Chain A
Amino acid sequence: GAGVSQSPSNKVTEKGKDVELRCDPISGHTALYWYRQSLGQGLEFLIYFQGNSAPDKSGLPSDRFSAERTGGSVSTLTIQRTQQEDSAVYLCASSSGVVRDTQYFGPGTRLTVL
């Protein structure tokens, strides 16, 4: 079946602009995660959605970052007033929602802020 998909695959933007990154999880997966990987760093947790529960936003680095998940499926990560330090690969993952079930990752969106 289809895996996690993300769009766009690459995004180049100018400092100060807003960007939206999209994630389509595996069908039926109730848990959805956003991570990012900056150059030379490991994956850094950003936000987690599980079903209809309030999302865990504890990893968002600033209030310029927000995410929503509509209808329990597609998720959008929005970065407002982008800064150069926001440049990274943004990865989305989904899982069945069972505790410690495998997280399946999408290919990521490479964001470059000029």
Chain B
Amino acid sequence: DQQVKQNSPSLSVQEGRISILNCDYTNSMFDYFLWYKKYPAEGPTFLISISSIKDKNEDGRFTVFLNKSAKHLSLHIVPSQPGDSAVYFCAASERGSTLGRLYFGRGTQLTVWP
């Protein structure tokens, strides 16, 4: 069963607007969350992460919000640019894990149009 869920397979946003990608998780042992971006024919690349001791982490145009009580996180991209068009994967790892195994969602295809 999917422990990390991305319920929107696709999102289309106009350039300059905000993109909001959502992710839900079921495992209470998850305490570290990541977003990866993937272009076609390339491997995923790390974008931003957040620890469960925080509820927000910002890096330039990208902000991740974590709501632990709702087991929900979101990635905000402001302003969105056409080069942001890619598949975005939400991922998580478990508390106490020294192994680094990541659990991934199915991804959301973001399309930013001019």
Contact = CB atoms under 8 A, between A and B. Distances in A.
A75 to B, nearest CB: 15
Interface residues of A, number: 27
Given A42-B105, A43-B89, A100-B32, A31 B100 contact: yes
Interface stretch (A11-19, A66-74, A78-86, A91-99): A91-99
Interface in A16-54: 31, 33, 35, 40-45, 48, 50
A42 B2 contact: yes
Contact of A43 (B41, B93, B104): B104
Interface residues of B, number: 24
B45 interface: yes
Given A91-B43, A91-B44, A103 B100 contact: yes
A67 B80 CA distance: 40
Interface of A: 4, 31, 33, 35, 40-45, 48, 50, 56, 59, 91, 93, 95, 99-108
